[in-house]
Structure 1
Amino acid sequence: MNKESNVRVNLAERSYDIAIGSGNRQQLAEFLRERTQREHAVIITDSNVDQLYADALGDVLTADGWEVQVLIVEPGEPSKSIETCEDLWETMLNEGADRHSIVVAVGGGVVGDLAGFVAATFTRGLEFFQVPTTLLSQVDSSVGGKTGVNLPGAKNMVGCFWQPLGVLIDVEVLTTLPDREYRAGLAEVVKYGVILDEPFFAYLEDNAEAINAKDPAVLTEIIRRSCELKAKVVEADELEAVDMASKFEGGKLSRAILNYGHTFAHAFEAITGYESMLHGEAVAVGMRCAARLAEKQGRVDAEFVQRQDLLLAALGLSVSPPEADPEDILHLMSRDKKSDSGAIRFILPTKMGHVELVSDFQSEDVIASLSF
């Protein structure tokens, strides 16, 4: 393994490594054996990734002496459902999976969230590993232990925290990622700069051309820094228990800051049936809306809004909110899992690199922020 590209997530007995490299997926068997005594692996993937990587990784494990089952779901957000979980549970039971099996997610955020929830619940908990194959999953959803499925009217409403024992990131797989999905992942990368790290935001501005060209060195750097920032927040607030009502509690980071743009985004995804917008696209629009709401409240100036807009546009993320009744969007926001007794809460910036939780706002300002 390339030790120089490792990021450590320090969570006491639940600590684990994020190994970042190029071509390192071929060392999956070694990666797993360093972290588990099990020898039966259930690989969960989708039909797109199975053909590209998961089936081949199953062969890698089989050649190393593992017993392997590859379970395939349909690609896309609709697979994050209880019905899909039930199919996977039943198949695992029929295939002989037990408490001595491990689950390996090979795919994007949908596969990771779904497989993690299946791992957390089958026989009350199986060891779990992530091999994320999209940029969004590499920099965000594979790190931190959040798992879950959607309800028809609310994203990720059913789930639990279940940390992986390791995350193996191969930047080489991004060469086969469709351009739209690649750009969607960049939204989460930009998010880290806005919420935590102004110098990182500036790095993205300075290297937008190389990012668009998928330069391996730059990709490795933005994935590494994104994972470092995500790990920093998860270490401070693993279970999203730190109350942000007073911005910070004893100077401790709140995991809630990772939801910058997501209150809007989850409503956009729900109102479009989780089909017409990729998660990262919805987050990009959500960040644009959140910045405008912050400007209307006097928290940031127009220069901040323009700077964020310009970077998103430079990375191919100049998208607009879906056409929908603003009142319907507000209603969906009130049902978001981050709401407090139906009261909508937003993560809003005060300057580049810093955000706060806000629940004091005018509905008309929220509606106005949806128009641009």
Structure 2
Amino acid sequence: MKTRHMDYWITGTNNSVIGNNDTNLALGFTSSIISVVLFGSNFVPVKKFDTGDGMFFQWILCASIWIVSLVVNIILHCPKFWPLAMVGGCVWATGNITVVPIVKTVGLGLGLLIWASANLLTGWASSRFGMFGIDPEVVAKPYLNYFGAGLSALSAIIFLFVKTDVKCVTLPSASEAAPLLRNSINHSENTTTDESWVDKLSPLKKRIVGCVLAIGAGILYGCCFVPVLYIKDHSKNNESIYAGSSQFDLDYVFSHSSGIFLTSTAYFVIYCAVMKNHPKVYPEAILPGFISGFLWAIANCCWFLANNYLSAVVSFPIITAGPGLIAAMWGVFVFKEIKGLRNYLLLGLAFCIILPGSLLTAFSKI
């Protein structure tokens, strides 16, 4: 049975790791819990602020992610930088540009639930069956693994029937709501609102667009770890350019985050060009965007650790299913996006399915 372990930790030997499997499991599940809480909450700081079409916000968020990864890289004494690991960051950043439209169309709770389910299935399938050139993960109890993944897919279908009530953001004053960059000097005198394309959609179209974007984002998110797993799997092949590469997943977080920041910057530059150098830049979204990125970066580092100590086929079901529960609680108790007995029952049913589904998938490996 194939498992992924660190080749070193402090002493640099395999024996110290193999002899502490209980410690590895404890570290892995602790990292998973931290990731679940932070991934389910990282968009909360920006929820009450206008982010326009989201392009400026996603660039601020990704800049914050890169800064955190730089600090982690320095703490790890700057391990070797692998450009291929940047591809995973590029894939993630591509999915991330859809987050603001998703939150505006179907809400934070439902949006995260849908993309988390798609993320779970994609990440699980790529690890379980060895997609995209990575080695397949062998599980001790395949029937539990398949059954758990099937339950997760069923919960994703149930989430689609949960209706949300997404309200427009009301800001304190017109001056705070105004973008920093205007189309012209006299723009503020001729225009009273700055609607994005999302705001112009009908309720039905918002729901369709939001669900489609959430599924697409989840698929992209589910593929973002593939390059790192590919490098690790080919490290023992002496003929591979990745021979001797690190088996410690956190060593790749800086490369991954660099791909995120460079891709988000490229998208923002393209956006500025399309907008003829008059992008919508909202000052009130800057600090919340940095906080959101900080929370996400910490959660992502913990996910890298969970992949290292538990393997991706175990960590994916836990970390992708759990944030939906946290986000739904925010949506129900704080933002009041999800209301009504029918929606509460559907959410309860979905959680009763996805939680045992994620646990079955996890225990199939252990």
Q: TM-score, normalised by structure 2?
A: 0.28
Q: TM-score, normalised by structure 1?
A: 0.28
Higher strand share: 1
Higher relative contact order (CA 8 A, sep 6+): 2
Higher helix share: 2
